[in-house]
Structure 1
Amino acid sequence: MKLTLHTDYALRVLMTLAVLEGRVVPIEELARRHRVSENHLRKVAQTLVGMGLVASVRGRAGGLRLAVEPGGLRIGGVVRALEEDLALVECLGEGPSSCALAGACRLTGALARALDAFFAELDRLTLADLAGRGPAMRAKLGLDAAIAS
């Protein structure tokens, strides 16, 4: 299983905003610090704003800021909401399966349990947990210098 870039970038944005604790961060700055396309981050930001997780601040000093309490945001829920297709194999998806082994294969159940375990682990984590290494994350992103200036 591989998360989409959209979900990956969304999690990065959320972690960065949580580390910055209320600071409004321009999308241009987020794109530069994460070395990702500004255009792609705008789409991610639009999704996060639509979900109510991030607030968009307009104007010259505008950008994004976290709109939720990091300790109350479960990562499993974020990933579930962002990922369009969580079926690891066709027979776990919705609708009929073209697999000749459907209904007789034990792999389907094993993969379903594996996916449940994956989300159980993500459901244990909050955004605050992920941002808990704030100083190390700030250093990786070069944020201390930007905040001090």
Structure 2
Amino acid sequence: MRLTNYTDYSLRVLIYLALKRPGELANITEIAEAYSISRNHLTKVIHELGKMGVLHTVRGRGGGIKLALSPDEINIGEIVRKTEDDFNIVECFSEGSAHCAISPVCGLKHVLNRALFAYLAVLDEYTLADIIKSPFDYRSLLGMEE
């Protein structure tokens, strides 16, 4: 299973914001610089996370972004499901596009489907709080002030 950059960036944004002090705002530029990724990509990611209710955005001078929920309320599996565009890991998972000759009898589809559900079930076991067990190490690597 491979996650898209969109999901990867979404998770990175959430991790970064979880490392901030409660109520402290971050901005897109500082997150982009911390991870050395495009500010433009992050703008879209942050907008969508805000629409999901995971982030709170503050407009205007002195504005920024912060988590709208506590890290222990943000489930990793839920975020992955909401940020991935599809989980069609093989052609036969897509409706109406099964051109494989063995598709009607193939047992591999069922094995891969079980694997996908197991993958998501493991992600469902973790929250953002579980991911950032050693915040000092994360802050140090990301160049965040202590």
For the superposition of Structure 1 and Structure 2, which TM-score range results when normalised by the shorter chain?
A: over 0.9
The aligned counterpart of 2:84 is 83
Report the alpha carbon displacement of residue 96 of structure 1 after superposing the two structures with TM: 4.6
Q: Runs of 5+ in structure 2 lacking a partner?
A: none
- Percent identity, please: 43
Match of 1:70 in 2: 71
How does the TM-score come out when normalised to structure 1?
Answer: 0.92
Instruction: Establish whether residue 48 from structure 1 lines up as the match of residue 59 from structure 2.
Output: no
Q: Report the number of matched residues.
A: 145
CA distance in 2, matches of 1:65, 1:59: 14
Counterpart-to-counterpart distance in 1, 2:133 and 2:63: 26
Gapped regions of structure 1 (runs ≥ 5): none
- Secondary structure of the residue aligned to 1:64 is strand
Q: Which range is displaced more, 74-83 or 53-62?
A: 53-62
Q: Which is richer in helix?
A: 1
The runs of 4+ residues in structure 1 deviating greater than 4 Å are none
Tell me the equivalent position of 1:16: 16
Match of 2:119 in 1: 118
1:100-128 Cα deviation digits (max 9, x unpaired) = 11121111111001101110110001011
Q: Distance in 2 between matches of 1:140 and 1:127?
A: 18
User: Is contact 1:16-1:131 (8 Å) kept?
Assistant: no
